[in-house]
Structure 1
Amino acid sequence: MVALAIAAAILQAHAAIPEMNNSQQLSVQIQKKLKLLNKPALHTIYSEDGDIIDCVDIYKQPAFDHPALKNHTIQMEPDWGVDWKMSVEQNEPFQVWQRSGRCPEGTIPIRRVREQDLLRVNSLDSFGKNFFYGSSKLGAEVNRSTSILYTAGYNYIGASGQINVWNPKVDLPNDFTASRIWLKNGPSENFESVEAGWMVNRRLYGDTKTRFSVHWTVDSYKSTGCFDLTCSGFVQTNPKIVLGAVIDPISTRGGQQFIISVGMFQDPRSRNWWLNVQGWPVGYWPPTLFGYLRHSATLVEWGGEVFSSHVKKVPHTRTAMGSGDYAGRHYRHASYVMLPRIVDNSLQLKYPERVGTWANEPFCYSADNYQRTYATEPVFFYGGPGRSRDCH
């Protein structure tokens, strides 16, 4: 009888606890996700552009949540054994948050993720991830349009370029537009890549500002990898650069052009893929994240991309690529990549031996590897407005 009375009392107590409704459950899940993403800050910087930058102990950064990095030893500086210096123009852009402070030694700056950021995504698991582009029966990507300069056929252990910075229009809520460099290896349906450049992505960042951004994947964006530091994997060492922070100033049509100098190089000894921005090493992707890319890349791409469910469809998205002008407008109007460089087994930065251009939708976003004279190096121009008189 006593046992029955105790059991009845327990059941009655549980019945008195109200079950959480869907909204409460979501709130609990969001707080759990935020705790995972936002590591404890030793110092906090409030940027004038609205971002909150947390200075996090370098040994407590998100990278070390990855099971492949459980016993990882940080490589504080690259040991390339090669002069990877990339020339940087005097009018180089810088990040807005840097005007408001700096992170102390032994920490790295991370853009804080906030509740409203998580509320914009379809699921918490998808936050910070690239969209899977999808494929048609012929294997073509259906949600992505590109205008690129590319080189293939060798083993590449690095690539770089100077990309001028713009703030193109983004049309639909889930659209994004980016200008970047890609290093890839593996089959087209399951490739691996590391990527870096600038991007406008309202879904991820909550605004239409131009931001420095990186990405990686080992399964062609199906489920792995992420932008910036929104998942574990990339090991940051530089306290001066924020992945995902706003770039300023930007280029103006017919006016002054501002560039970012971006490179990704594999350390011959550690095999880490180091990111270099404006001549500064920022951090690296360890080789343990990869299969094909553990040793080298076999494809390098420079240029622009637009993701939208309304590319290659009528009506087309109005999201622009690059400056929003076509490649044929050239200097001071179109977006460009100057000084595209690769590193192969010769361990020298050099112009690729063979290059090609590709534009999925040349009436929407065009490509032109333009050589002004026979004595000058080509400059790759790309971009376009999306839906327009020529793009329906």
Structure 2
Amino acid sequence: MAPQHDAAFPNFADFTHSLASARYEDFVRRSAAGTTSAEDFSAMTQYLRNLYAGIEVTRSFADDNGQVFDCVPIGSQPALRGNSPLPPEAPDPPVAAGRRGAGQSLPVRPQLRSDRLDGFGHPMSCPPGTIAMRRITLEEMARRGSVRNFHRKYPRGTGRRHRPGAADEPFKQYATGDQKVANLGGHSYINVWDPPVTGDDFSLSQQWYSAGSPMQTVECGYQVYPGKYGTTQPVLFIYWTADDYEHTGCYNLECTAFVQTNGAWLLGGVLPASVPGGAQVDVEVVWYLAGGNWWLYLGGTAVGYYPGSLFGTGRMATGAQEIEFGGEVETDDETSWPPMGSGAFAAGGWQYAAYHRDVQYIATDNTAQYAKLTAYQPAPACYTSLVNSGPTPWYEYLFFGGPGGSSCS
């Protein structure tokens, strides 16, 4: 792609000026306000002004999908602004990582590298001591109607997890493997795919660590969510909640929660996808509760952490009670459910079905243990899961996914 003229790039100063001068009447006139009321529009505008207040941007660039990212000093990101000291050193997690094995999958590399340029000729990397924040616009927030809906994992549902024996939660389905076990985190390689998803549906693969009532979680994986990210490519994401998704939680760096310490990874940035019958790519993900913080590692490198204080006196402040790995889909009408994973059922296996492999959890004595997952597939006509174990590089693993369809509820 030939570099575009830099004058076309939406620079940060113009962006913040647009927030300062935003008027609801202008959004209504441009049909950009969606279902947002004047009161909610005012709240969203103030939210973004506060989120970006005092931030010093050292560099900006656009990813391959045209999403804009701003490089900001680690200490001025929303979760740290006005606080000191700077983040602690990341601990070494007690998991045996990096056992990829010959002739298997390709590792997902960090998205930011000094040898990459965006379509405007800007380096797609952040200077030392800074991290990249995906720029959130008023137009994006307005599509969700309110600040809380914007932060929800999925605005049409409550966001609550579907559990065996629990009442059905509309709009969502799963195909996973889980285990109820006291833990301080865990590990898997997540196979990345790009299932065809449209509109406000999403399809994801992730790790969940959860505990308590109301449920608290930390989560990481990839999702295809065009209604949020404006792309049908898979996007790296994290999420959390302290109260069963009711009033707390947000994606990535979109609220004052996650503290990012590594500038090479883009939370909210696109990832490469696997090819049916061909090259498989996966990203190594680890969560580890240490020093009071839930640390995230991607590709063996610490990316940042959720402070344990987010969970107050809740169970996740000291550890999780359940691990879960696999897929989740959401739909906006329950009549046309999107594909999950590769779109193939779990029985398709290697190079055809999506997987998590080398699934481990970190026991409360800080030792790594292989998981013993139980498959969960409440809609087997649409999505299935298959748990097994094998030699390197698989160990405990899970195949999952399916084509979706019209009768998945």
TMscore range, shorter length: 0.7 to 0.9
Q: Which has the larger radius of gyration?
A: 1
C-alpha contact (below 8 Å) 2:172/2:330 kept by paired residues: yes
Residue 208 (structure 2) aligned to one of 179, 182, 185: 182
Higher deviation after alignment, 133-142 or 156-165: 133-142
Equivalence for 2:143: 120
Q: Is 1:356 equivalent to 2:374 in the alignment?
A: yes
Equivalence for 1:328: 347
SS of the equivalent of 1:86 reads coil
C-alpha contact (below 8 Å) 1:192/1:218 kept by paired residues: yes
SS of the equivalent of 1:41 reads coil
Equivalence for 1:6: none
Q: Is 1:36 equivalent to 2:50 in the alignment?
A: yes
Q: For the residues of structure 2 that align with 1:35 and 1:333, how far apart are their CA atoms?
A: 45
SS of the equivalent of 1:341 reads strand
Q: Give the AA of the match of 2:167.
A: G
SS of the equivalent of 1:103 reads coil
Higher deviation after alignment, 25-34 or 290-299: 25-34
Q: For the residues of structure 2 that align with 1:376 and 1:56, how far apart are their CA atoms?
A: 38
Q: Give the AA of the match of 1:339.
A: D
Long gaps (5+) in structure 2: 1-22, 29-37, 118-123
Equivalence for 2:34: none
Q: Give the AA of the match of 1:151.
A: Q
Equivalence for 2:190: 163
SS of the equivalent of 2:75 reads helix
SS of the equivalent of 1:328 reads helix
| Offset at residue 310 of structure 1 (A) | 3.9
Q: For the residues of structure 1 that align with 2:378 and 2:249, how far apart are their CA atoms?
A: 25
Q: Is 1:216 equivalent to 2:231 in the alignment?
A: no
| Offset at residue 114 of structure 1 (A) | 2.4
Equivalence for 2:270: 246
Equivalence for 2:6: none
Equivalence for 1:233: 257
Equivalence for 2:327: 304
Equivalence for 1:342: 361
C-alpha contact (below 8 Å) 2:205/2:341 kept by paired residues: yes
Q: Give the AA of the match of 2:194.
A: N
Q: Give the AA of the match of 2:350.
A: Y
C-alpha contact (below 8 Å) 1:121/1:127 kept by paired residues: yes
Equivalence for 2:3: none
C-alpha contact (below 8 Å) 1:163/1:337 kept by paired residues: yes
Higher deviation after alignment, 90-99 or 210-219: 90-99
- From the superposition, tell whether residues 55 and 85 of structure 1 become closer, same or farther in structure 2 (CA, over 3 Å): farther
Residue 303 (structure 2) aligned to one of 282, 289, 293: 282
C-alpha contact (below 8 Å) 2:330/2:337 kept by paired residues: no
Q: For the residues of structure 1 that align with 2:369 and 2:374, how far apart are their CA atoms?
A: 16
Q: For the residues of structure 1 that align with 2:217 and 2:112, how far apart are their CA atoms?
A: 28
Q: For the residues of structure 2 that align with 1:229 and 1:376, how far apart are their CA atoms?
A: 32
SS of the equivalent of 2:227 reads helix
Residue by residue, what CA displacement relative to the aligned partner does 1:333-376 show, whole Å, maximum 9, x if unpaired?
A: 00001000101023222202x32110121111100113468x97
C-alpha contact (below 8 Å) 2:132/2:263 kept by paired residues: yes
- From the superposition, tell whether residues 88 and 238 of structure 1 become closer, same or farther in structure 2 (CA, over 3 Å): farther
Q: Is 1:263 equivalent to 2:279 in the alignment?
A: no
C-alpha contact (below 8 Å) 1:95/1:246 kept by paired residues: no
Equivalence for 2:14: none
Equivalence for 1:142: 170
| RMSD after superposition | 2.8
Higher deviation after alignment, 34-43 or 101-110: 34-43
Q: TM-score, normalised by structure 2?
A: 0.79
User: Percent of pairs identical after alignment?
Assistant: 28
- From the superposition, tell whether residues 364 and 266 of structure 1 become closer, same or farther in structure 2 (CA, over 3 Å): same
Residue 78 (structure 1) aligned to one of 90, 104, 110: 90
Q: Give the AA of the match of 1:87.
A: G
SS of the equivalent of 1:227 reads coil
| Offset at residue 378 of structure 1 (A) | 4.2
Q: Is 1:91 equivalent to 2:74 in the alignment?
A: no
Q: For the residues of structure 1 that align with 2:112 and 2:127, how far apart are their CA atoms?
A: 15
Higher deviation after alignment, 108-117 or 22-31: 22-31
